[in-house]
Amino acid sequence: MKHNFKPLTKKEREEMEAEMAKGFDFEKATRRGVFMNLDDEVVEYFKALSAETGRGYQVLIQEALYYFKENKMKPRTVWESEKDK
């Protein structure tokens, strides 16, 4: 399967960045360890953001996912099967 990710609009990105700047409330969270395979470019993006902000890249990924959850956002991913090519 091939996937194409549609980027956030400028407004959506600004809202997400503002929300993430508030930080994640770890006191409220119940945490579970999970294993995920992420694209190198995604990991590198969050590691660079981590270097800029001084916050752990895994924390930043958690905050981004939490933002999506809290705002009931759905991914804008278009999936194509290999036979659709």
Q: Per the domain annotation, does 22 fall within a domain?
A: yes
pTM of the model: 0.58
Domain that holds residue 30: 2-78
pLDDT score of 84 more than 70: no
Burial of 35 (0-12, 13-18, 19+ CB in 10 A): exposed
Is residue 48 in a domain?
Answer: yes
Assigned domain for 65 exists: yes
Residue 85 within a domain: no
Our count of domains for the chain comes to 1
Residue 83 in any domain: the answer is no
Query: According to the 3-state scheme, what is the secondary structure of 36-47?
Result: CCCCHHHHHHHH
Q: What is the pLDDT of residues 23-54, one digit of tens each?
A: 666 666 677 788 899 999 999 999 999 999 88
